[in-house]
A and B are shown apart, each in its own frame.
Chain A
Amino acid sequence: MTSFLPPALIFIAGAALIPFLNGRLRQAYIILLPCFAFLNLLNMPEGNSWILHLWEYQLTFVRVDKLSMVFAYIFVIMAFAGAIYSAHEQDKLQLTAAFVYAGSALGVVFAGDFITLYIFWEIMAFSSVCLIFAKKTQKAIKASFRYIMVHLFGGLLLMIGILMHVAETGSIEFTLIGLNGLASVFILLGFAVNAAIPPFSAWLTDAYPESTVVGTVFLSAFTTKTAVYTLARGFAGTDLLIWVGITMVVYGIVFAILENDMRRVLSYSIINQVGFMVVGIGIGTELAINGVAAHAFAHILYKALLMMSAGAVMYLTGRSKTSQLGGLYKTMPLTLIFAIVGAASISGFPLTGGFTTKSMIVAAAGHEHIIIIWLLLTLASAGVFLHAGIKFPYFVFFAKDSGLRPDEKKLPINMKVAMGFLSFMCILIGVYPQVLYRLLPYPVDFVPYTGYHVVSQLQLLMFSALAFFMLLKYLKRTETITLDTDWIYRKGAKIVFSFLSIPVAWTYNKLEYVLLEKVPNLAIWYSKNPLEAMKIGANNVVVSMVGGKEAQKRLEKEKAAYPGTVTQWSISTALVITLVIFVIYLILFFF
């Protein structure tokens, strides 16, 4: 058919083999598979291919253009780095899920129509939840349950939107939709859930930090960035997204500063970074969309690097709370260096990936002269350095000595190689950004390295560092968790439930009392002496209507004496009565 395979097929079909391979063979296989996918990518010409006809629709499995290619390149590079990092992993569930997950993310990126997109969207949700579930602690299982519920809800919104869109336009092609009409609102909401746009953001910071050492690394890369891709494709230039994005940026910083768990700090930082991209999508100019793609590329590299270094710390110490860590620089210098490269990149220090990519989005805001957005993005650039650039490495590797002396030699060599590879990539696109700029959707007319840009960025960052160290005592770590919108379904639902349960439980108790206690007891009481019971009943009615003390006394006496002596009738009498009733019945029946 064509000279190449759909990348999604390589990963998903390739993942099917993983459970059957062992030892060195499996290690080689999972590392070589992304390499094969990368070579395959180089061989993909622009245009649509792998088209399947379904009823009257055309499903396009591979649509190659510059926007889909730049995301595909970084996803495959990420899968490669992740495969190296997880080469020592024995749990086949995680490895298989990770590859299916990466494959479905590539499926979304190359999907040319909504139906294909939706199918891969759902595969992505189900494969990623396995990575959280794989930790198998009580907390992780609960978190994975919440995670899949939120994603099913998001998928539902997307499906409603797609069905409405197809009904309205008659086309399933996935192109620029823009915000017009109810269908586009639902599609946007569906994308927003995966992009972790508040208030649909808590699933990310709830679930990612509960995943395994390997799982979090994969998770940090794919779900949110496929959503960034779909937003950039479908909603570029939607003004609303500028404000949505800036909210994410600020929200991510504030929560990351409050958070204690290091992987949760980094998760909030994902929301912050995706916020930058969403702002860029909202601006929608060529420079901005270039910035979005470039930043997504760089972000995947350094966020995975940071998650890997946090994972290395967890692997050796089993701890994730910064309040229980500290002083690790003494025995984990190599991991420290990798973490610092990642931290410098995310902060946008010159010579790293963040400097050459994030600044494009800030510059786009400046070009459009949106003052408030430019100011807030600049504030956020300082804030990123604060929470991810300094807070993470400082509290984990320096700060107060926790007394932990993990032996870095016990860290599997493949983990170090993976971190080294990503560090190299971060610096490569920082030093030689043209290699990335060439891949971007539009021609790049942006020069990151000017004297003023370097000086102003360094001023911003170094004085942020000054503020950090001056206010250090206010940043003391506390053993707390941070309330987020997951409160609504973790606590709020309980409260709503208890409110609902009060009337429901009351009605149930009443019904139970009447039907299972009152009525049977009455029946038992009645059957003890039906004749006397009827007499008491009739007297009751009469007394309540007429009154009279004498009658009341007599009634009470009767009640006390009940059931009294029951008149014993012989069987023949009973038979006669029955026969009489039967004859009356027959007469009534025939006449």
Chain B
Amino acid sequence: MNKIVEYFEKPNVSKAVRYIFYTSLVLLLISEFFVEKHVYFSWAAFPAFNAVFGFISCVVIIVVAKVLGKLWLQKREDYYD
């Protein structure tokens, strides 16, 4: 187990992991064209719809959460004491 951990800690391996991640993103975008689409709404069939939607969703969620947290929701840990 330790050897596996050490292996992944090597700088060039962790860099490779990152490139594998990027490659998988590209592959996912390409593979969309090789599958038969069945969608509930016609606009959902637009190329890369899910990728763009997922990305934007997360950005929106993070921004909204952050703004709410900063302005209102996040308090110091001893708030209730």
Residue numbers of A with Cβ under 8 A of B are 253-255, 257-258, 329-330, 333-334, 363, 366-367, 369, 371, 374, 378-379, 382-383, 386, 450-452, 455-468, 471, 474-475, 478-483, 490-491
Min CB distance B60 to A, Å, is 8
Tell me the residues in window 14-45 of chain B with beta carbons closer than 8 Å to chain A beta carbons. Answer: 21, 24-25, 28-29, 31-32, 34-41
- Name the contact of A463 in the complex, choosing from B4, B38, B51, B68 (C-beta under 8 A): B51
Instruction: Give 16 pairs: A residue, B residue, CB < 8 Å, sorted on A.
Output: A253-B65, A257-B61, A257-B65, A258-B65, A258-B74, A329-B5, A363-B40, A369-B40, A369-B41, A379-B61, A455-B31, A462-B28, A463-B51, A466-B55, A467-B59, A480-B76
Contact B59 A490 (CB under 8 A): no
**Sample of 16 further A-B pairs with CB below 8 A, known A258-B68, A386-B58:** A257-B66, A258-B73, A367-B40, A374-B41, A382-B58, A386-B61, A455-B32, A459-B50, A460-B50, A463-B25, A463-B50, A463-B52, A464-B57, A481-B76, A481-B79, A483-B73
Residues from chain B with Cβ under 8 Å of A378 in the complex: 50, 53, 57
- Name the contact of B53 in the complex, choosing from A366, A382, A475, A480 (C-beta under 8 A): A382
Complex Cα spacing A367 to B39, Å: 10
Contact A452 B4 (CB under 8 A): no
Tell me whether chain B's interface is mostly helix, strand or loop, or mixed. Answer: helix
Residues from chain A with Cβ under 8 Å of B53 in the complex: 378-379, 382, 460
Contact A450 B38 (CB under 8 A): yes
Contact A474 B62 (CB under 8 A): yes
Contact B41 A371 (CB under 8 A): yes
Residues from chain B with Cβ under 8 Å of A366 in the complex: 40-41
Min CB distance A357 to B, Å, is 18
Residues from chain B with Cβ under 8 Å of A464 in the complex: 54-55, 57-58
Complex Cα spacing A458 to B62, Å: 20
Min CB distance A32 to B, Å, is 32
Min CB distance A395 to B, Å, is 14
Contact B74 A480 (CB under 8 A): yes
Residue numbers of B with Cβ under 8 A of A are 1, 4-5, 21, 24-25, 28-29, 31-32, 34-41, 48-55, 57-62, 64-66, 68-69, 72-77, 79-80
Min CB distance A40 to B, Å, is 40
Contact B50 A481 (CB under 8 A): no
10 smallest CB-CB distances across A and B, nearest first, come from: A366-B40, A451-B35, A467-B58, A460-B54, A459-B50, A379-B57, A480-B74, A459-B51, A257-B65, A463-B55
Min CB distance A113 to B, Å, is 39
Residues from chain B with Cβ under 8 Å of A478 in the complex: 74
- Name the contact of B80 in the complex, choosing from A253, A456, A491 (C-beta under 8 A): A491
Complex Cα spacing A374 to B39, Å: 12
Contact A333 B1 (CB under 8 A): yes
Contact A490 B80 (CB under 8 A): yes
Residues from chain B with Cβ under 8 Å of A369 in the complex: 40-41
Contact B25 A333 (CB under 8 A): no
Residues from chain A with Cβ under 8 Å of B32 in the complex: 452, 455-456, 459
Complex Cα spacing A373 to B58, Å: 17
Contact A471 B62 (CB under 8 A): yes
Chain B residue at smallest Cβ distance from A383: B61
Residues from chain B with Cβ under 8 Å of A371 in the complex: 41
- Name the contact of B59 in the complex, choosing from A374, A450, A458, A471 (C-beta under 8 A): A471
Residues from chain B with Cβ under 8 Å of A480 in the complex: 69, 74-77
Residues from chain A with Cβ under 8 Å of B24 in the complex: 462
Complex Cα spacing A369 to B65, Å: 28
Contact B61 A253 (CB under 8 A): yes
Contact A481 B62 (CB under 8 A): no
Residues from chain A with Cβ under 8 Å of B38 in the complex: 450, 452
Complex Cα spacing A117 to B32, Å: 49
Min CB distance B37 to A, Å, is 5
- Name the contact of B57 in the complex, choosing from A255, A382, A474, A483 (C-beta under 8 A): A382
Contact A456 B50 (CB under 8 A): yes
Chain A residue at smallest Cβ distance from B76: A480
Complex Cα spacing A459 to B38, Å: 16
Contact B77 A460 (CB under 8 A): no
- Name the contact of A483 in the complex, choosing from B1, B37, B52, B75 (C-beta under 8 A): B75
Complex Cα spacing A464 to B58, Å: 6
Contact B36 A459 (CB under 8 A): no
Chain A residue at smallest Cβ distance from B40: A366
Contact A463 B69 (CB under 8 A): no
Complex Cα spacing A452 to B53, Å: 16
Interface centre among A382, A386, A468 (most CB of B within 10 A): A382
Contact A481 B74 (CB under 8 A): yes
Contact B4 A333 (CB under 8 A): yes
Min CB distance B23 to A, Å, is 11
Contact B50 A258 (CB under 8 A): no
- Name the contact of B77 in the complex, choosing from A455, A481, A490 (C-beta under 8 A): A481
Chain B residue at smallest Cβ distance from A374: B40
Chain A residue at smallest Cβ distance from B52: A463
Complex Cα spacing A315 to B42, Å: 50
Residues from chain B with Cβ under 8 Å of A483 in the complex: 72-75, 79
| A257-B65, A482-B74 known; A383-B28 Cβ under 8 A | no
Contact A455 B28 (CB under 8 A): yes
Complex Cα spacing A478 to B74, Å: 9
Min CB distance B66 to A, Å, is 6
Complex Cα spacing A255 to B36, Å: 37
Contact A482 B69 (CB under 8 A): yes
- Name the contact of B55 in the complex, choosing from A258, A363, A455, A467 (C-beta under 8 A): A467
Complex Cα spacing A381 to B69, Å: 21
Contact A479 B77 (CB under 8 A): yes
Residues from chain B with Cβ under 8 Å of A466 in the complex: 25, 55
Min CB distance A205 to B, Å, is 12
Chain A residue at smallest Cβ distance from B30: A455
Complex Cα spacing A465 to B22, Å: 11
Complex Cα spacing A367 to B40, Å: 7
Interface centre among B29, B50, B80 (most CB of A within 10 A): B50
Complex Cα spacing A468 to B55, Å: 9
Contact A254 B68 (CB under 8 A): yes
